[in-house]
C-alpha cells in the first residue's frame, strides 16, 4: 500500500510569506506527527494528532506555527510570516496507534527554504 506522502517536496519562499505544507498519512493510521529536521541534526518533534485533535503541540516553536487535521486524515502545517530560521526539512509521520511498540512511518519530507 501507499506510504506517507508529503507535498510539496520543495518549497522556496520569501521572508514574511505564508506557507502550507501537506501530509497524507497511511490510510487508517490514527496517530500523526510533525517533526522538523535541520541540516546535520535529528528530527525535532513539533506536534502530535490523535484523530482530529492536536493532543500535544508542545514542540511548536512559536505562534507563527499552526497545524490542523480536520477529518482525522490529511494534515496541514501552516507557517505565518516565515523567517530564514524556519528553513529546514519538515517531516510527517503516522502510526496505527500511539502506544508502545508501534513504529512511526515517515514521509519523504518537505524541504522549506526561506530566502
Chain positions contacting other proteins, by CB under 8 A? 4, 31, 33, 35, 40-45, 48, 50, 55-56, 59, 91, 95, 97-109
Strand 19-24 with 75-79, pairing: antiparallel
Judged by beta carbon, residue 75 or residue 107, the one nearer other proteins is 107
The nearest distance, CB 17 to other proteins, in angstroms, is 24
Judged by beta carbon, residue 14 or residue 99, the one nearer other proteins is 99
The nearest distance, CB 90 to other proteins, in angstroms, is 12
The nearest distance, CB 16 to other proteins, in angstroms, is 27
Judged by beta carbon, residue 15 or residue 87, the one nearer other proteins is 87
The nearest distance, CB 82 to other proteins, in angstroms, is 22
Print burial letters for 14-49: b (CB count within 10 Å at least 16), e (below 16). Answer: eeeeebebebbbbeebbbbbbbbbeeeeebeebbbb
DSSP 104: P
What's the CA gap between 69 and 92, in Å, rounded?
12
Amino acid at each position: 500500500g501507499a506510504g506517507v506522502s508529503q507535498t510539496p517536496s520543495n518549497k522556496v519562499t520569501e521572508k514574511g510569506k505564508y506557507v502550507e505544507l501537506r501530509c497524507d498519512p497511511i490510510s487508517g493510521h490514527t496517530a500523526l506527527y510533525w517533526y522538523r529536521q535541520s541540516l546535520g541534526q535529528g528530527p525535532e518533534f513539533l506536534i502530535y494528532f490523535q484523530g482530529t485533535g492536536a493532543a500535544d503541540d508542545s514542540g511548536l516553536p512559536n505562534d507563527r506555527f499552526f497545524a490542523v487535521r480536520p477529518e482525522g486524515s490529511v494534515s496541514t502545517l501552516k507557517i505565518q510570516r516565515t523567517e530564514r530560521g524556519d528553513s529546514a526539512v519538515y517531516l510527517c509521520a503516522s502510526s496505527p496507534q500511539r502506544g508502545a511498540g508501534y513504529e512511526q512511518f515517515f514521509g519523504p519530507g518537505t524541504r522549506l527554504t526561506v530566502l
